[in-house]
Amino acid sequence: MSDLTLTKIRLRHGVWEGRITGSPAGKKPEIKVLWLDQPVDQVEVTEGSDPSYWDLKITIPTDAVADGVQSFIIIDTETNTKLGNFTLIAGEPVSDDLRAEVDLLRAELDMLKRAFRRHCLETM
């Protein structure tokens, strides 16, 4: 198991940024990122302003900005363990997408709550 910890900083201008802690002093973590089971080329690990952490920058491939759900897996290559992941969702909502289903369920629940409250007021 990896002693490294990955914390998301932000996603901006097509670059996902994070911070890696837990690396032995002075030892640069070896990181790979997979998208569709293929390695992402533009992965940068640089020493942070404090020697206790490393900055990770992943430039999202332009091919990944497309309709549907795109998942990226961040891996510590030394131990071959997953440190984290991030997902991009774009385009028309997919009908079988879990998030779309949850939104639909919330809307239906709100409708049922209003109808139930109306029914309770009418019976009083």
Query: In degrees to the nearest 10, what's the CA dihedral of 104, 105, 106, 109?
Result: 130
| Distance in angstroms (rounded) separating the CA atoms of residues 71 and 8 | 15
| Distance in angstroms (rounded) separating the CA atoms of residues 115 and 103 | 19
Where does the pLDDT of residue 100 fall: very low under 50, low under 70, confident under 90, or very high at 90 and above?
low
Q: Are 57 and 17 in contact (CB under 8 A)?
A: yes
Other beta carbons within 10 angstroms of residue 85's beta carbon come to 13
Per-residue pLDDT tens over the stretch 50-96: 888 999 999 999 999 988 888 999 999 998 899 999 989 887 766 56
* Minimum mean pLDDT range among 7-11, 14-18, 100-104, 110-114: 100-104
Which residues, including other chains, have CB under 8 Å from residue 85's CB and lie 6 or more apart? 71, 72, 73, 74
For the chain, the average pLDDT equals 88
User: What integer is the mean pLDDT of 7-11?
Assistant: 96
Burial of 60 (0-12, 13-18, 19+ CB in 10 A): buried
Task: Answer whether residue 104 shows pLDDT above 80.
Answer: no
